[in-house]
Amino acid sequence: MNKIVIAIDGYSGCGKSSTAKEVAKKLGFTYIDSGAMYRATALHFLNENLSPLRAEDVEKGLKGLQISFQLNPTTSQQETYLNGVNVENEIRTMRISERVSEVATVKVIRTALVAQQQQLGQKKGVVMDGRDIGSVVFPQAELKLFMTADVETRAQRRQFELLAKGEQASLEEIKLNLESRDEVDSNRTESPLLKVSDAIEIDTSSLTFSEQVEQIIDLVKKVTLN
């Protein structure tokens, strides 16, 4: 299989990450979760009591920010580290989901994270998911996907994921968070979430997990055969 870049963008909680992870595994590609980087940044700002909306705080916050990914040998899953500390579980909590989209509106924060994402993907053979991957991070990606699903389905899936990690949140609370992040992410000035013209849309509302993975693998085969 040729090493290509697969960019997956879409709304909050529509299954981008889990799908991207499985596609990467099947292809022997590297998976990069750009959302985890924004989440780790939001956690860092919270931990340090810094406001993403104050220029001097942002400068200070970015100076002391180091994000990396490491493979957990037991689960074979990639985990997120913030300044050397494993924050994989903490960044997925509602506390961070409620803060992350504000952090992601800030231009200098995006510039710093995009530079790291581009560096991580420079050798190709990557699947990266986020909001601006096909538009800003890898505009030359060989395959661009835009994933959607109706908000009820997304909220149910997210509630299930949170419960599996021991966090209880009501469907209503989760739905409001997904809708509010979609709104902020789609309307911000810096790299808003949008479907670029060369992206293929996949609505996962009525697809099973393996169906959505297979659809993407078929698209990859088409792209790499051309």
Positions touching ligand CDP (CB under 6 A) are 12-13, 17, 34-35, 38-39, 100-101, 104, 130-133, 181, 185
Angle value at C-alpha 46, between 64 and 192, nearest 5 degrees = 85
Q: Between residues 17 and 50, which has the closer beta carbon with respect to ligand CDP?
A: 17
Shortest Cβ 59–ligand CDP spacing (Å): 20
Least distance from ligand CDP to the Cβ atom of residue 215, Å: 19
Residue 10 sits at φ, ψ, to 5 deg, of 160, 180
Closest contact distance (angstroms) between CB of 14 and ligand CDP is 7
Q: Which residues contact 186 (CB under 8 A, 6 or more apart)?
A: 192, 193, 194
Q: CA-CA distance, 217 to 84, in Å (whole number)?
A: 34
Query: What's the one-letter identity of residue 164?
Result: A
Taking Cα atoms as reference points, which of 114, 111, 149 lies closest to residue 134?
114
Nearer to ligand CDP, 187 or 210 (CB): 187
What single letter denotes the amino acid at residue 195?
K
Sign, CA torsion 70/162/127/133: negative
Q: How far is the CB of 36 from ligand CDP (least distance, A)?
A: 6
Residue closest to 69 by CA, chosen among 9, 13, 139, 119: 119
Q: Which is nearer to ligand CDP, 2 or 187 (CB)?
A: 187
- Least CB distance to ligand CDP at residue 64 (A): 20
Closer of 92 and 220 to ligand CDP (Cβ): 92
Nearest approach, Cβ of 131 to ligand CDP (angstroms)?
4
- State the nearest-atom distance from the C-beta of 222 to ligand CDP, in Å: 25
Between 21 and 224, CB nearer to ligand CDP: 21
Nearer to ligand CDP, 101 or 212 (CB): 101
Nearest residue to 136 (alpha-carbon basis) of 158, 117, 162? 117
On the 0-12 / 13-18 / 19+ scale of CB atoms within 10 A, 68 is: middle
Which is closer to ligand CDP, CB of 88 or CB of 132? 132
User: 31 pairs with which residues across the strands?
Assistant: 127
